[in-house]
Amino acid sequence: MTTQIDIAALEEEAVLLCQEMIRIPSVNYGEDKGDERAIAQYVAAKLKEVGIESELIESAPNRVNVVAKLEGSDPTRDGLIVHGHLDVVPANAADWSVDPFGGIIKDGFIWGRGAVDMKDMNAMIVATVRAWARVGYKPPRNILLVFFADEEAGSVFGSRWLVKHRPEIFKGYTEAISEVGGFSLTITGGHRLYLVEAAQKGINWLKLTSHGTAGHGSFISPDNALNRLARALARIDAYVWPQKETKTGSYFFRKIAELTGEKYDPSDVRPLLKHLGGAAKSIGATIQNTANPTMLEAGYKANVIPQTATAVVDTRFLPGDEAELINTIRELAGDKIDVEVLVRDIALEVNFAGPLVEAMCAAIAEFDPDGIPVPYMMSGGTDNKALSDLGIVGYGFSPVRLPEDLDFFALFHGIDERVPVDGVKFGVKVLNSFLQNS
């Protein structure tokens, strides 16, 4: 049963809050260079205006997280975490057609860095709980609101820090929702799917170091570290990673095949990708492991053969495939090349079933009866990975209805990032209904 609130006011406030959050440039430059203080204080002030107290938790200078607890009508139930991240990636204003921190509305969209990643969801969360507070509504179970710092640079000062240093905050909470899920994707035939993130690939950023013999640049060099590394990278680039069926991928691609009248072949789902439009690039990366060289360094002078050469390879693995991926890279790299793990994070996969998922599906159906909720796997990751260390089951569910021709995945960290105004209005209605019935 959904408590009635002023839906028109809810929609307008979500849009306004999104604009105001974009205007606070909470840029995370990586390498410990970020500042979420101003936006954390903004969120805390908006909550306090309606009587919701929060805690500002500083994990390092200017790296600030916000935590607030909402008491449920049945506090004996396991609680739900609703979380977002406050930081955004940098934006070069010269590349944009608008001010990336202007938060303007143009052509039916809210424009600016963070519009989809993820100040739209943050705004929907804050607008929803403010509406509840005004009418004295209590959700069916305890809800923990968390707005993390540092998600865009490994979550060291955000979810990872809180899980390690303040785990008591999360006691009694067993499920979570956050970003990169619940958005619409229109496929061949006009079928409108809503992609709920139920799996994430794991991460291994690998440093490859090649060893050879230093010498004069004019000599014949059969033991050249740079040549050896180049050959290794060429082998990695040429390797065809086998496709593998996951339970999330099986559900997703079977549904695509069913809706489009195609055959489902678990050994090769690539023919189905053509039905996904711009989403094919991201979702296509979740049918196999991947390895992409991203950094290269060698030598210090034009006429000196270097003794070592290094490269960084960004590898992503399917659930259960980490050891196989590492072993494959070592084999491809070959002798005299060391493989070191620089950054590692787990893969996740949860069931697309149960009361929480049913509540998501019901909320989508309430406002889009033709919508078809399906699980999908992310090629990247979210703060749900850190929460999983505490046994918390997380989904990506930040609902937005999108225009059919919008390449949504390209907007994440992209130039001219924007989110449709109507999509935010739709999303905050769905979020409100979901949270009231979860």
pLDDT in tens, 379-398: 989 999 999 999 999 999 99
Task: Write down the pTM of the prediction.
Answer: 0.94
Last residue of a domain, one of 298, 321, 345: 345
Give residue 1's pLDDT.
Answer: 58
User: Could you tell me if residue 2 is inside a domain?
Assistant: no
Q: Are residues 111 and 158 in the same domain?
A: yes
Neighbour count for residue 176 (Cβ, 10 Å): 26
Residue span of the structural domain in which 226 resides: 202-345
3-state SS of the chain? CCCCCCHHHHHHHHHHHHHHHHCCCCEEEECCEECCHHHHHHHHHHHHHCCCCCEEEEEECCEEEEEEEECCCCCCCCEEEEEEECCECCCCHHHCCCCCCCCCEECCEEECCCCCCCHHHHHHHHHHHHHHHHHCCCCCCCEEEEEECCHHHCCCCCHHHHHHHCHHHHCCEEEEEECCCCEEEECHHHCEEEEEEEEECEEEEEEEEEECCCEECCCCCCCCHHHHHHHHHHHHHHCCCCCCCCHHHHHHHHHHHHHHCCCCCCCCCHHHHHHHHHHHHHHHCCCCCEEEEEEEEECCCCCEECCEEEEEEEEEECCCCHHHHHHHHHHHHCCCEEEEEEEEECCEECCCCCHHHHHHHHHHHHHCCCCEEEEEEECCCCCHHHHHCCCCEEEECCCECCCCCCCHHHHCCCCCCEEEHHHHHHHHHHHHHHHHCC
Task: Judge if 209 and 187 occupy the same domain.
Answer: no
CB atoms within 10 A of CB 5: 17
Res 31: pLDDT = 86
Are residue 238 and residue 385 in the same domain, yes or no? no
pLDDT along the chain (438 residues), means of 10: 85 98 96 95 98 98 98 96 97 97 98 97 98 97 98 94 98 97 96 98 96 92 94 97 97 98 96 95 96 95 94 97 97 95 94 97 98 96 96 98 92 95 98 97
Indicate whether 39 and 151 sit together in one domain.
yes
- Domains held by the chain: number: 2
Q: Do 339 and 363 share a domain, yes or no?
A: no
CB 414 within 8 A of CB 393: no
Give the model's pLDDT for residue 2: 65
Contact 402, 408 (CB under 8 A): yes
Contact 432, 5 (CB under 8 A): yes
Domain final residue, candidates 317, 345, 373: 345
pLDDT at 303: 94
Give the per-residue pLDDT at 235: 97
Whether 34 is covered by a domain: the verdict is yes
In this structure, the answer to whether residues 294 and 207 fall within a common structural domain is: yes
Claim to verify: residue 79 and residue 22 sit in the same structural domain: yes
Which residue, 315, 345, 375, sits at the end of a domain?
345
β-strand partners of 138: none
CA dist., res. 113 & res. 90, Å (int): 8
316 and 371 co-located in one domain: no
Identity of the residue numbered 226:
L
Q: Is residue 45, in this structure, part of any structural domain at all? A: yes
Q: Do 97 and 190 belong to one domain?
A: yes
The answer to whether position 11 is within a domain reads: yes
CATH number assigned to the domain comprising residue 179: 3.40.630.10
